[in-house]
Chains A and B, each alone.
Chain A
Amino acid sequence: MDYLDHLEAEAIYILREVAGQFENPALLFSGGKDSITLVHLAKKAFRPGKFPFPLVHIDTGHNFPETIEFRDWLVEQIGERLIVGLVQESIDQGKAVEQKGKNASRNALQTVTLLDTIEKYGFDACIGGARRDEEKARAKERIFSVRDEFGQWDPKRQRPELWNIFNGKIHKGENVRVFPISNWTELDVWNYIKRERIALPSIYFSHHREVVLRNGQWMATAPFLNIDGEDIVEYKSVRFRTVGDMTCTAAVDSEATELDDIIAEIKASTVSERGARMDDKVSEAAMEERKKQGYF
């Protein structure tokens, strides 16, 4: 079997296990390429039926406008339900406190809103687009990853995961994070997007925009980014390799306007995808610590 067919069949199998094993699942949709790929896989898993889950977007309020526009277009196109959890609401309610300073980001605050949204709607399983090749803590995470009542991941108490038999049994209040594309690499995702002609937000492709230099990386300028006279601001030809919120996602210099260019660029790259994520650079165990708190 061709490797993309194999990965696709495995992901579809996992999505159907979620549908079969849980009462009230959700698909966490960020507007990034991995969750867009998940939506495409869900169509293959459940059409001509409806998705047995809504899409859930945790919106920091600091997203790229192109991502939000794309999200709304996609939801309209597939005719499925979208639930949006707003980080701004968590801040207004006093549940989350905005970071201060020049590099303030709402990335970490998403966890609060995510856990609140899970509780509010009573989701027992949340499907996510995380991949094991992204980061070393993720390399250890199960495909069905159980979170306790507080949304926490305990890496030392993970269930053994054998063959393709997934144990989705949980106690009330717990939930499971499910990662159907765990075994895909960044390159696999791009090759699949190309093969399946999956539409993506425009920021994945090279474009001209105003960027500001932060900690050696170029960030897109935005009203909520604290820019002062000392900052170096330039107008450059860039694209985004990974799409999170604008405060934690750096651009890469690129002339890649087609999928083939992007694939060639990634093959030649000597830096990993998460290298452009400020949120992972905080410490050696940044991802592990965030996941323990309930992060995606």
Chain B
Amino acid sequence: MNILKFITAGSVDDGKSTLIGRLLYDTDSILDDQLEAIKKANRKNNDGTVDLAILTDGLKAEREQGITIDVAYKYFQTENRKFIIADAPGHIQYTRNMVTGASNSELIIILIDARKGVIEQTKRHSFLAKLLSLKKVLVCVNKMDMVDYEQAVFENIKTDYQALAEKLGLEDVDFIPVSALKGDNIVHKSIHMSWYEGYSLLDYLETVEIEENGQQPWRFPVQWVVRPQTDDLHDYRGYAGRVIGEGLKVGAPVVVLPSGVRSAIKAVEFAETALEEAHSGQSVIVHLADDIDISRGDILVSAENPALSARNFEANICWFDNKSLDTSQIYLLQNHSAITKVKITEVLYKFDVNTQQKIATDELQLNDIGKVEIKAATEVVFDLQQDFAENSRAILIDPRTNLTVGALMIENVA
């Protein structure tokens, strides 16, 4: 059994909460006392059915206002998979929350109201999916019951969306016609849409294959140095971290970045047991053949396929702070275990997130997405987003407030 992390994008009106509620409810993931609490809260839909949105609205303010403000994580599992749902608000003023949720997901479910088709919000969410390099997009055309389960409606929306996907460069897109409210094609195949031959939503989620990071050369950011300094382990010096990519094995040649020092993997261990190799996602301890000075913030990379190391680069950015980006200020850039002082030397442009047009500007405000040029005090180690997304990411911290003010995806060396 493995894990699938997905995000549902959409607003209350699209039936997003109903869809999640339906998935949880129909997979018996809601227990009696939780259901009791929902009933006690006495929130009803217009048609009198229990409002399942309250399941995901965890904060008092959210329940009071009947909206989702923050990302909530929900869990359910079937015999085949464990699912982690990032439930994020869909409105434009919560773009940063959606970016947060999407950053922790592999797949995105984009909800389209069958009566409305592809709208501005669909475009925005799809753009964010591309920006954050989500591996898979699933379009659920919802409220099919409101359009008499017409195949033509579904096919038209599909055609429209495919054009959008092509424009954005989204490659892996699938489509399912559903009615979250009536339960059509959610857990069971709908009896109203015999023309649809694909999976129900749950069957799809249980079987969809997510591409692993197996194609990428390994990187190993050092989080912590294990040094017992006891009599019998006097010279023990192990580098603890989590592997990204593949090919980390005993004997593999290593470059330590940013210093550029070369060595080789002498041993790999996990929970005090020796391993021959370690795979993407594993948290292990690595030993090098040579006695060199390495500490937290250094990254070991494949000497055959090293990562980039640079002080000047360009990155896509999503701005999270109420205070606008300030090109005269120093920020901290954190990628993996490394923290470096940086300046944003120039805002190149920002996107109109609804039309994906680039707009010339020198200012980025809360929820803005754009591209910036960055200058770092010391060398930053990364791969480019288009080559190896997982090693192209960083956050920006304002050292005065310590808040996380931006998300970065490095796109090229300047």
Contacts and interface: CB of A to CB of B under 8 A. Distances in A.
Contacts of B404: 159-162, 167
Interface string A4-44: 01111110110011011000000000000000000000011
A2 to B, nearest CB: 7
A238 interface: no
Nearest to A8: B283
Contact of B241 (A10, A16, A187): A16
B281 A163 contact: no
Q: State which size class the interface on B falls in.
A: 35 or more
Contact of B31 (A50, A156, A272): A272
Contacts of B82: 3, 185, 188
A183 interface: yes
Contacts of B71: 140
Given A6-B281, A12-B283, A158-B70, A132 B271 contact: no
B100 interface: yes
B407 A1 contact: no
Interface string A94-111: 000000000000000000
A20 B33 contact: no
B200 interface: no
A139 B407 contact: no
* Shortest Cβ-Cβ A-B pairs, 4 listed: A136-B58, A12-B283, A169-B402, A275-B33
A68 to B, nearest CB: 28
B267 interface: no
Q: State which size class the interface on A falls in.
A: 35 or more
Interface of B: 1-3, 31-34, 37, 40-41, 55-61, 63, 69-75, 77, 81-82, 84, 96-97, 99-100, 103-104, 223-224, 226-228, 233, 236, 238, 240-242, 270-272, 279, 281-283, 296, 320, 332, 334-337, 393-395, 397, 399, 402-404, 407
A288 interface: yes
Nearest to B335: A165
A44 B63 CA distance: 40
Given A48-B228, A269-B31, A139 B74 contact: yes
Contacts of A10: 283
A160 B320 contact: yes
A255 interface: no
Contact of A9 (B228, B282, B336): B282
Given A167-B402, A185-B77, A275-B31, A16 B1 contact: no
B226 A48 contact: yes
A160 B272 contact: no
Given A16-B223, A183-B75, A6 B402 contact: no
9 contacts: A3-B82, A19-B223, A44-B270, A46-B226, A155-B59, A159-B404, A162-B99, A169-B332, A270-B31
Contact of A163 (B70, B72, B103): B103
Interface in A136-159: 136-140, 155-156, 158-159
Interface of A: 1-3, 5-10, 12-13, 16-17, 19-20, 43-50, 52, 132-133, 136-140, 155-156, 158-165, 167, 169-171, 182-183, 185, 187-188, 269-272, 274-275, 284-285, 288
Nearest to A188: B82
Contacts of A43: 271
Nearest to B37: A284
A284 B283 contact: no
Contacts of A284: 37, 40-41, 60, 63
A6 B100 contact: no
A57 B224 CA distance: 25
Nearest to A167: B404
A107 to B, nearest CB: 18
Given A16-B240, A132-B75, A139-B58, A183 B84 contact: yes
Nearest to B244: A164
A184 to B, nearest CB: 9
A10 B41 CA distance: 35
A139 B74 CA distance: 7
A16 B40 CA distance: 42
Contact of A162 (B37, B77, B84, B100): B100
B74 A171 contact: no
Q: Which of A1, A49, A132 has the most CB of B within 10 A?
A: A49
Contacts of A155: 59, 61, 70
Contact of B283 (A9, A50, A169, A187): A9
A140 to B, nearest CB: 4
A13 B348 CA distance: 35
A49 B270 contact: no
Given A169-B332, A169-B399, A271 B32 contact: yes
